[in-house]
Chain A
Amino acid sequence: MSGNPFVTCLNRYTTASPDHEAAFDEFIGRTPPPGGAPLRLETCTERFVRACYTRKHPPSIILTGNAGDGKTYLCRQIVSTFTGQTVTEWTDHLDWSIVHNGLELRVVKDLSEMTEEASARILRDVAANWRSEQSRTVFLIAANEGRLRAVLQQERLVVEELFQEIDRQLREGPALNHERLVVLNLNHVTTFAYVPATLKWLTDPGHWDACTGCIAQHACPIRFNASHLANAHVVVRLQRLYQILEHLGVHVTIRDMLIHLAYTATGGLDCASVIARKLPDREPRRYVYYENVWGEAAKDHFRCKAVVIRHLRRLNVGQKSVLEVDDFIINGSPIEEHNRLFAPALDLDGQRFEQDRKAYIYGGAAAPHPEEEHPLMRWLPQCRRKLFFERQNPVADRLFPFQHLPEYFRLIGGDPALLTRYRHEIVLGLNRAFSGLYLTDADALYVTSQYAHAVEQPAPLVRVKIPADGVEIQVAPGQKDVFDRDLTTLRLVIYPPPGVQSEPVTWTLDLLRFEYLLRRARGSTPDILADECELSIRQLKDALLSRFATEQQSGRIDFFAADRNRYVFRTLWVDSEGRIHI
């Protein structure tokens, strides 16, 4: 009665356990967990990198990204490709060279772990290598972008060309065919592509064989989760969640994803506590997978540390009431679907949910204890989340706090007519956001500036007026050659107004910004999403002002004046003879 060793293995991934670091080393080292094969994520990047090293003159590769993006893993793969053998010892060397086939490969496992001195020296060596034509040395460096930039800035005088090249590739994307240097920023990898593979490994029947014979297997939330997570629809929904996060601009590293999915399966419980019925939260239904996804049963500390949970909680799914969803839960029509989804099971505490529901419908909405709410109300958030995963109905998407989510996804589809139609709303939203006033004009994009502490009715000065044609919503395709970046995003391209010579300004239009602008365009108040969006909009305004604003010498003042019940664009002319006219 020792429990399933796979569960112990999984628990080591969640940071709730002290063995946490060891788990990731095992993952990298591909040690098989008890009862099955190790998790193998085939990534595009890995394929690209292997291909690089089979070239006759492999380029130097610099890998940047956050902790957990897979830099160390990739290094191991590269080294094993290079030498043709798997790597055995790894931990002690910070900077080591391997010679093979006449080429020397210098591997720097983690630039951030070295002293500033040492890292500066390495970069100087890279620069020297870069300049010499006949070099037989190839570099492989893994670093965090911030540290890399800091060291490059310090050494700038010596390594100017290197700095420029690295900077360029980091900003514009890796130069895949470059002969000497390729910089791969793993921040661009979107992890939602790996969710199905990970879940498949997690729910592989081989890992769960050890559960047969366990006395608690019918009351075990972990077993329940494992069987449900194998359901294809659930996998799709989970992937959708990750995709939404990417669209919100949150980068989830592979490590974060592993932590989150492991926690989703186990809820931080282990076999011993399940068998002994000593769960921290008493009720098994709190550890169901669709509650674990949002960390409902987790402690505050874990909620803050697990990146995915922290961001998902901000989406607050299940707290908000959506009429169709609640109606289905409480009234249960269509009956067949309701009976199927809400059949007595572990997550519904057996018959308990059905009893509470019947009590509510037939017994009235008054709670048995007047100071509490009716027991059914406490089931509602959980049931909403359950339906989010298990019901195959588009209304489940309405549980997200985004009013314009479907429109956003439709725009990503790339229909040009649709893009042009939404341009009008985006321009209106931007006009209102820039000036802080309820403007109604969307024929042009007005970039305004005004006195911030105005006492009287504000009259924002129009500095730049860009006709609506000069604003385009474009679909920015993901880079699929080297990153598993299946993410199409939207971006706004604003061309300079007539008479101004400048580069157009490009601005990412992610889900959050799209939502904010559309809400403003349709009349919502600015405090919604204000924290996140307002400052990025202010930066866009500053960029437009610095690139497109010109001093108007012609004695012309453009501004918005209040005219009865709306703001109108007016112009005052002051000519050289000192006359004022409109």
Chain B
Amino acid sequence: MERYGYLEEQRQGYPVAAWIWGHRLRVGQHWMEYLLEFLNVLAGFDYELGRGINQERSSDRQEYNRFTRLGLRRFVFYDEREKTHHPFDDAAHRQLMETLRQMCADGSGDDPLMLARSLLRAFSAVEESRSWFAKSLFPVHHNMLFWEGLRKKATKYEERHSVDRLAPHRLDAGIAFDARNFFARGGEIYYLILSAGTRNNPERRTNIAKQLRALLTERNTALGKLAEIIDQAWQRQTGNNGNHTPTGRLGWIPDPACLLYVTIAEDVATFLQAGLDPLEMLDLLAHLIGFHLTLYIYHRAHLETASPHQDGSCLDKRRLCLPIDALEGADGGVVRDISAAAFREQEDCIVHQAEAYIHAKVMEWVNAPPPGADPYAALDLEARTHFDLPRLSSGRRGEFESTINALIKRLGNAPDPKDLAEGYAKALISVLREDFDKNFKGVHRKLAKAVGLAAPRKGPGARFVLGDNLLKALTLAIIPSGEGMTYDEFLQRLYTRYGLVIGVHEAQAAGLLERRRVNSEYFERNRAALLEKMKLAGLAIEYSDATAVVRGR
């Protein structure tokens, strides 16, 4: 399997989720943080896609810069109500405020600073209450992009020296930028997807990068200048003997020739042409990213194993079937039930795909053993390296050992390959399952609910819907600005590109009518309901009884 990204030589083993869906997607990442991480990586690579890949052009810089902007962050987020106080930060904050006060016009006192603070705080991006170094700002401008930080041992500080005698750059010393609690590589995956999708289309690649650069550097310049001034005030204090700029390396994704990546790149390129207000553009882009990543998960979890992702047939053969409920129960819940069943199906597919992968891999190892070696030992070695078993807790490893010993005892010295494969795979699955369920299984659910692809946001019984923002984002991604298409054509595109089933034709093509044995009238009403929604949202105009035209603007 070809991997695309930064491949570390030292590391051979990854969890099962990574082998199927790339390194990595993790459930702890908030949906907005995918956008934040992606923009940080892109900006860190100086607004160029396709960098950081260590298989090609190895002379190229392979690490992206991580912006620290500690001055800005302390100014905006560090206050009396902060939950992780540290004397270093207190001192740094004091010094920063003194410097800033000197920079304001005389006589205006604290007012401009308080005003600036409340203005910037209004762009606080993620809802949860976190420590100041983990909070993020909505990236209205390039100067508001920064990487997640972590002050190590923040609560275990022992006062050794008086804080005031420390030089400013020492106050920053304990903050590390490689924590990966929140920027868990999801944005890197998206960066890699876009890079892979534009491998054969350099024009589109530069286009996307150029427009994102324009969006982040040429709009809202006054806000950007404000953020820069505040941050520079601290940077000047720390001077050049401060910490060097931290850098990062990308993860990797499998099968870079997959056509889904090309579709995603197309969508982003069309979307960026829309020319809306920048705040809205970024918001909709966050929705679009969440949508694309969810589709990516489903696409690779599809049961159709015969068509590998390299030959370009994967998009057709592995077309998803995601029925969208636009009626919201108005029809007695028929479409809602179908949609909820499809959601559960997708989740089952994900689990099934993981198990199938383990089975396939074990079978491969069992059938190709090195000659003259103990089959158990060989298998064990492969499994440990491939799935990085030493990373698991010792309790789990112990369980695994005992299961394997039982298996050995049962099968004897010359085991039948099939039995061996099956037994070993079962043991592997049970040991890897916990990590998979905890860290990966919930990603699609969390993302889909956050961007409006699934409802309800909280509670059981999730089903597929299309929220207003997601609908607008998809319309802008499918229809180039200034053009229009008929509603039927639009629904058809939604199906061929993403597998979203709304109307009767698509339900027929997906075989849904036969499988679920429902009257096509329900999907007819579903189609009409979505049209009403789009009309209300200003995305579609219905001219007469038959023709409705969808346009982005």
Contact = CB atoms under 8 A, between A and B. Distances in A.
Contact of A535 (B222, B276, B536, B544): B536
Interface string B280-316: 1001000000000000000000000000000000000
Contacts of A456: 121-122, 124
Interface in A246-298: none
A459 B280 CA distance: 15
Interface stretch (A146-154, A320-328, A391-399): A146-154
A365 interface: no
B414 interface: no
Nearest to A576: B225
B545 A144 contact: yes
A150 B538 CA distance: 19
Nearest to A549: B277
Which of B122, B277, B547, B553 has the most C-beta atoms of chain A within 10 angstroms of its own C-beta? B122
Contact of B118 (A112, A555, A562): A562
A67 B545 contact: yes
Nearest to B547: A146
Contacts of B157: none
Contacts of B548: 146
A451 B277 contact: no
Interface string B508-552: 000000000000000000000000000011100011111111000
B279 interface: yes
Contact of B124 (A452, A455, A574): A455
B405 interface: no
Contacts of A457: 118, 121-122
A557 B544 contact: no
Nearest to B279: A449
A371 B138 CA distance: 57
Contacts, number: 144
B283 A453 contact: yes
Nearest to A570: B115
Contact of A145 (B121, B283, B544, B553): B544
Contact of A146 (B140, B536, B544): B544
Interface stretch (A50-58, A422-430, A539-547): A539-547
Interface string A119-150: 00000000000000000000000001111011
Contacts of A147: 543-544, 546-547
A66 interface: yes
Contacts of B119: 459, 557, 559, 561, 572
A553 B221 CA distance: 7
Contact of B277 (A454, A545, A552, A581): A545
Contacts of B484: 153
Contacts of B275: 546
A546 B105 CA distance: 34
A147 B548 CA distance: 9
Given A539-B538, A553-B221, A572 B546 contact: no
B7 interface: no
**Size class of the A contact interface (CB-based, 8 Å):** 35 or more
A149 B485 CA distance: 11
A557 B546 contact: no
B112 A580 contact: yes
A146 B542 CA distance: 7
Nearest to B233: A578
B226 interface: yes
Contacts of A1: none
B166 interface: no
A579 interface: yes
A535 B533 CA distance: 11
B223 interface: yes
Nearest to A538: B538
Contacts of A449: 277, 279-280
A538 B544 CA distance: 24
Contacts of B536: 531-532, 535
A555 B225 contact: yes
Which of A149, A579, A580 has the most C-beta atoms of chain B within 10 angstroms of its own C-beta? A580
Contact of A453 (B32, B111, B222): B32
A551 B221 contact: yes
A458 B119 CA distance: 8
B271 to A, nearest CB: 16
Contacts of B276: 542, 545-546
A382 to B, nearest CB: 29
Contacts of B280: 449, 452
Contacts of A555: 221-222, 225
Which of B32, B124, B277, B484 has the most C-beta atoms of chain A within 10 angstroms of its own C-beta? B277
B543 A146 contact: yes
Given A542-B277, A580-B113, A150 B486 contact: yes
A561 B115 CA distance: 8
A144 B547 contact: yes
A468 to B, nearest CB: 23
Contacts of A574: 222, 225-226, 229
B545 A579 contact: no
Interface string B215-250: 000111111011001001000000000000000000
A12 interface: no
B394 interface: no
Contacts of A452: 279-280, 283
A540 to B, nearest CB: 10
B126 interface: yes
B46 to A, nearest CB: 23
A153 B100 CA distance: 59
Nearest to A68: B545
Interface in A546-578: 546, 549, 551-557, 559, 561-562, 570, 572, 574, 578
Contacts of A67: 544-545
B138 A451 contact: yes
A454 B546 contact: no
A454 B222 contact: no
B55 interface: no
A539 B536 CA distance: 11
B108 interface: yes
Contacts of A453: 32, 125, 127, 283
A67 B545 CA distance: 7
A555 B387 CA distance: 54
Given A451-B123, A545-B277, A580-B113, A556 B222 contact: yes
Nearest to B111: A582
Contacts of B138: 451
A520 interface: no
A463 interface: yes
Nearest to A458: B122
A450 interface: yes
A267 to B, nearest CB: 27
A319 interface: no
A536 B123 CA distance: 26
Contact of B544 (A144, A536, A539): A144
Interface string B112-145: 1101101101111111000000000010100000
Contacts of A561: 115, 118-119
Contacts of A66: 544-545
A508 to B, nearest CB: 14
A549 B278 CA distance: 12
A164 to B, nearest CB: 15
Interface of A: 66-67, 112, 144-147, 149-150, 153, 449-459, 461, 463, 531-532, 535-536, 538-539, 542, 545-546, 549, 551-557, 559, 561-562, 570, 572, 574, 578-582
22 contacts: A66-B545, A144-B546, A145-B543, A149-B549, A453-B125, A455-B126, A456-B124, A457-B122, A535-B537, A545-B276, A549-B277, A551-B221, A553-B221, A554-B222, A557-B223, A557-B226, A572-B112, A572-B222, A578-B229, A578-B232, A581-B108, A581-B112
The 5 closest A-B pairs by CB, nearest first: A146-B547, A146-B543, A144-B544, A459-B122, A581-B105
Interface of B: 32, 100, 103-105, 108, 111-113, 115-116, 118-119, 121-127, 138, 140, 218-223, 225-226, 229, 232, 275-277, 279-280, 283, 484, 486, 536-538, 542-549, 553
